[in-house]
């Protein structure tokens, strides 16, 4: 079985390794490529190993793509998928493994008859270089059909060396991840702080709780179940357990890259507007992060 992975960031590279370990052939699709195969080093604590995926760009891709994992940033999904559409056939399987929401509907419109799954992971990994991945934790990954009439996992995913949980309804899972991201990511980006520093400053903690209250109001109006405990308790627990982490949104801002804010807080605010629910705290955070992104000036690594 051959899996193509669109998006060779930390999560895409991690899945390339996991699929390779399960005995499958893997091609990483990058924006640019100097070689057709490369060695990627995966470090996990004191242990390490290498794997050797094929490397393609959309321009060098040939033949059909039967199994496609999309791990790009949410805002790049539609444009990145466009040149691959001619390679997808009637039986192709497509999995979206990304932060944020809104891109799922866009891909479903592009691929109305394909088998389509959405996935959410708590795995932690970061890339030192394109050829060196640091694995922090495998966590667990939940996968469910988006608009496919199937109770099966994507082909080969039962053999992955990481916990995979099948979900009949993946949308609540995605909303829970979105809710936590709304609470943590914009605040860390704006305050240029690690996750745990949201808890040690009373003003930041108060703002986090206000964000959570607005998110819960929108989720409740949509009859979307979040957590048994209040959202702010869940968000604070995540910030505490990842206290030393830099959120992906903060890293994007530091590097002058476009953030996923439109598919996180932006998605929430669009849902709230549709429901005539006022979310002033989240709207303000959305605009502030937009302003930082539009400045396109890297922030100092404080």
Residue 79 confidence (pLDDT) above 60 = yes
In a domain, 302, yes or no: no
SS (HEC) of 138-189: CCCEEEEECCCCCCCCCCCHHHCCCCEEECCCCHHHHHHHHHHHHHHHHHHH
Are 15 and 119 contained in the same domain? yes
pLDDT in the model for residue 69: 98
In a domain, 9, yes or no: yes
Are 21 and 139 contained in the same domain? yes
State the DSSP code for 191.
H
In a domain, 301, yes or no: no
Residue 268 confidence (pLDDT) above 70 = yes
Domain boundary among 168, 198, 231: 168
Q: 159-194, pLDDT tens digit by residue?
A: 999 999 999 999 999 999 999 999 999 999 999 999
- Domain of 17, CATH number, reads 3.40.50.720
Which residue would you say has higher pLDDT here, 34 or 225? 225
Are 11 and 140 contained in the same domain? yes
Q: 128-142, pLDDT tens digit by residue?
A: 999 999 999 999 999
Are 29 and 145 contained in the same domain? yes
In a domain, 204, yes or no: yes
73 is catalytic: no
- Domain of 227, CATH number, reads 1.10.1040.10
The strand pair at 164-166 and 141-145 is best described as parallel
Domain boundary among 135, 168, 201: 168
Residue range 269-275: mean pLDDT, rounded: 98
pTM of the predicted model as reported, rounded to 2 decimal places: 0.93
Residue range 103-113: mean pLDDT, rounded: 95
Structural domain that includes position 219: 172-295
Domain boundary among 121, 138, 168: 168
* Total number of domains constituting the chain: 2
Burial 270-291 (b: 16+ CB within 10 A, else e): ebbeeeebebebbbebbeebee
Q: How far is it, in rounded angstroms, from Cα 166 to Cα 152?
A: 8
Which is catalytic among the residues 67, 114, 177, 232?
Answer: 177
Q: How far is it, in rounded angstroms, from Cα 204 to Cα 193?
A: 10
Are 159 and 14 contained in the same domain? yes
The strand pair at 47-51 and 40-44 is best described as antiparallel
The CA-based angle 24-60-39, given to 5 degrees, is: 45
In a domain, 272, yes or no: yes
Are 40 and 138 contained in the same domain? yes
pLDDT in the model for residue 122: 93
């Amino acid at each position: 079985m051959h899996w193509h992975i669109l998006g060779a960031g930390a999560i895409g590279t991690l899945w390339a390794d996991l699929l390779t370990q399960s005995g499958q052939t893997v091609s990483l699709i990058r924006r640019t490529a100097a070689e057709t195969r490369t060695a990627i080093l995966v470090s996990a604590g004191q242990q390490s190993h290498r794997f050797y995926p094929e490397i393609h760009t959309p321009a060098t891709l040939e033949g059909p793509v039967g199994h496609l994992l999309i791990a790009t940033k949410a805002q790049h999904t539609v444009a990145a998928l466009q040149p691959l559409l001619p390679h997808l056939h009637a039986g192709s399987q497509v999995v979206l493994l990304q932060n944020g929401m809104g891109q799922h509907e866009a891909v479903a419109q592009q691929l109305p008859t394909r088998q389509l799954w959405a996935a959410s992971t708590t795995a932690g990994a970061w890339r030192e270089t394109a050829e060196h991945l640091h694995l922090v934790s495998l966590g667990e990954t939940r996968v469910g059909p988006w608009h496919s009439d199937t109770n099966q996992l994507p082909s080969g995913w039962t053999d992955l060396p990481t916990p995979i949980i099948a979900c009949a309804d993946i949308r609540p899972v995605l909303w829970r991840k979105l809710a936590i991201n709304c609470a943590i990511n914009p605040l860390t980006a704006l305050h240029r702080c690690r996750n745990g520093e949201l808890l040690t400053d009373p003003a930041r903690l108060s703002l986090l709780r206000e964000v959570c209250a607005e998110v819960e109001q929108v989720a409740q109006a949509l009859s979307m179940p979040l957590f048994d405990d209040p959202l702010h308790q869940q968000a604070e627990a995540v910030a505490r357990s990842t206290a030393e982490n830099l959120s992906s949104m903060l890293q994007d801002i530091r590097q002058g890259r476009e953030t996923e804010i439109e598919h996180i807080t932006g998605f929430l605010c669009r849902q709230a507007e549709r429901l005539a629910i006022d979310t002033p705290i989240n709207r303000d955070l959305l605009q502030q992060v937009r302003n930082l992104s539009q400045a396109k000036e890297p922030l100092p690594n404080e």
